[in-house]
A and B are shown apart, each in its own frame.
Chain A
Amino acid sequence: AQSVTQLDSQVPVFEEAPVELRCNYSSSVSVYLFWYVQYPNQGLQLLLKYLSGSTLVKGINGFEAEFNKSQTSFHLRKPSVHISDTAEYFCAVSSGTYKYIFGTGTRLKVLA
């Protein structure tokens, strides 16, 4: 069975500092991996996705993530955050059979 674990429920970080949001998954088959962002009172928006090829994936708003098959991780990073990055971030995995599993989310709070 697939599962997704987001290790941190909340991450506070100062503006212009780097940030890493952690995501680990378990699956016995090949997976597609995703990160979404949810701003207050809005739906989720796709940030980036790994389908195949290069393990370093670049997304919107300056975010990037690296697929690490040996560690079954897909951590999200940004070198310098802004106040506007304050939101909830969800990791997700798809591995066929029409199943799509979301993690429980990480609230990123950017402090001035």
Chain B
Amino acid sequence: EAQVTQNPRYLITVTGKKLTVTCSQNMNHEYMSWYRQDPGLGLRQIYYSMNVEVTDKGDVPEGYKVSRKEKRNFPLILESPSPNQTSLYFCASSLLAGQAIYGYTFGSGTRLTVV
């Protein structure tokens, strides 16, 4: 089954404790992206990657890191989480048509709470 797998689904952590949210896709998609979803603010892009070893900042990259060492994996790293990073996070992947995104497949989401 074609899918994007995120783990964990739920995470409660303390301020300053490094964490990683994993994302993996099995569709051989070139493009992968992380979004956060907050009430009233919609979906905001954190980082994206067009291919292995190629990443770029989205609209809200501060406080986050990513890496793309393999095509299928795109982990999101919070080096020192803060309460304002409490949010619902989604990983998504897509084929590319030139530089246009062909249509996302989303993961099920990770609900992160930082206390």
Contact = CB atoms under 8 A, between A and B. Distances in A.
A7 interface: no
A38 to B, nearest CB: 9
Contacts of A95: 100
Interface stretch (B61-69, B76-84, B103-111): B103-111
Nearest to A4: B42
Interface size class of B (residues with CB under 8 A): 20 to 34
Contact of A49 (B90, B98, B103): B103
Question: DSSP class of B's interface residues: helix, strand, loop or mixed?
Answer: strand
A100 B90 CA distance: 14
Contact of A34 (B4, B42, B48, B103): B103
Given A34-B103, A42-B108, A100-B45, 15 more contacts: A36-B104, A42-B109, A43-B90, A43-B107, A49-B103, A94-B100, A94-B101, A94-B102, A96-B98, A98-B31, A98-B50, A98-B56, A102-B42, A102-B43, A104-B42
